[in-house]
Amino acid sequence: MTRNEDMALAEDVSNAMRALELLVSRPDGGRVSEIADRLGINKAIAHRLLAALSASGYVSQDPRTASYFATHSLGALGLRQLSTSGVSTWAQRSLDSLAADSEELVRLAVATNDSLQWIAKAQGSNSSLRLDPVMGQDAVPHATASGKAWLSTLSVERIDDVLDHESQLSVTPRSPLDRPALLRELEEVRHRGYATTFEEMDLGINAAAAPIFGAGPGREATGTISIAGPSVRVTRARMAELSPLLLAAAAEIARSWPSYTYLVASKELSA
């Protein structure tokens, strides 16, 4: 295979993954022309990629509308990956402990490229006021505690990249994006060690989140851990009370973060 062929293959793989990411965020699906426009490729290439994804079972096409949809095979693949990564071993214990202490919903999110996705949770509330969002969704970076905690560990250039990507994928009517104000808030997050939101995504819901430095201190956060609950319970004062437990849980998970721990160890052995 020539260098040009290698580059073309890499570009096809990248575009196929971007198409999947786009379809996952669109429950109504997308037509070839729409996907081609969003990815910046011509319709022939988009059609070829979607045909390949359909053949592999990750995409299906509605014959009535000609729209393409991501199938459950993609979710099953993600669940298998989470299972083999040992999330129930290396993170669930910390999530359960923090949920029990806070009596609120605790969530773990992982960072991938320009997005942050919730992958695991523990519910500690015993009252009727409970919060139970769907796992697997992307956290809106500028309007969630998890997103702000992650952004606080990125460079200004990386923050811009993430926010540019966000503007294409998410809508947050309760909290319009104000970049200068967000950058000022991120400075506070870095100083405090954790981020907060007060009804910025959902009415009546507050949250606090801390970054997880699975790649080591001073690096970009590899994920976040958060506490969320009704605003009548998760007040600013309550967040401050829970912050030592939140930060301790983030540090504990960072110490056992699997893929980055393995990557660092491999590099050290080969050095």
Which residue is it, tokens 């997308």? 30
Sign of CA dihedral 71, 76, 82, 87: positive
Please identify every stretch of the chain with a pLDDT value under 70, giving residue numbers as ranges. 1, 75-76, 78-89, 125-137, 167-172, 258-271
Residue 115: its pLDDT value, please? 83
Question: Does pTM surpass 0.75?
Answer: no
Exposure class string for 56-67: b at 16+ Cβ within 10 A, else e? eebbbbeeeeeb
- Relative to beta strand 223-230, strand 105-112 is antiparallel
- What is residue 168's three-state secondary structure? helix
Residue 126 φ/ψ, nearest 5 degrees: -105, 0
> What is the predicted pLDDT for the residue at 72?
72
Residue 63 has, within 13 A of its CA and on its CB side, a CA count of: 0
d(C-alpha 242, C-alpha 124), whole Å: 14
**Tens digit of pLDDT for each residue in 74-88?**
766 765 666 565 665
Domains of the chain, CATH where assigned: 3-73 (1.10.10.10), 86-262 (3.30.450.40)
Q: How many CB atoms lie within 10 A of CB 246?
A: 24
Helix (H) or strand (E) holding 30: none
Residue 37 near residue 31, CB atoms below 8 Å: no
Structure tokens at 129: 């006021």
